[in-house]
Amino acid sequence: MTANEMIFIDPHIHMTARTTYDYMVMREYGIVALIEPSFWVGQPRTSLGTFKDYFSSLVGWERFRAGQFGIRHYCTISLNPKEANNEALAEQVMEASV
């Protein structure tokens, strides 16, 4: 199998922080699927709505964006330990995710 025929899966990449150009280059180099873990954005999310917006962007927008380049987008959704320290908010997020 030549390099041009090989296909790859990127098991850990944060595409939310990447440009659409990166999808184009990834596809050119054989990436056919990726897994994007949710991550802490550097400051605490402060309401259930901020989590819903973020999770929706992972399963909606990023999936669409990847699909434009023939790349399958999978994601893992979780609470970062820093965010889980707000127990009341963490409970709301977990309940809404069910």
Query: pTM for this structure?
Result: 0.85
Structure tokens at 92: 């709301």
Residues 6+ apart with CB under 8 A from 22: 15
Indicate if the pLDDT at residue 95 is higher than 50: yes
Q: What single-letter amino acid sits at 54?
A: Y
Distance CA 64, CA 72 (A): 9
> All domains of the chain, ordered by start, with CATH?
3-97 (3.20.20.140)
SS3 state of residue 27? helix
The sheet carrying 8-10 orders its strands as 8-10, 31-37, 72-76
- pLDDT tens, position by position, 52-62: 999 999 999 99
User: How far, in Å, CA of 88 to CA of 15, rounded?
Assistant: 29
Assign 1 a pLDDT band (cuts: 50, 70, 90). very low
Measured CA to CA, the distance from residue 95 to residue 84 in angstroms comes to 13
Which pLDDT belongs to residue 4? 67
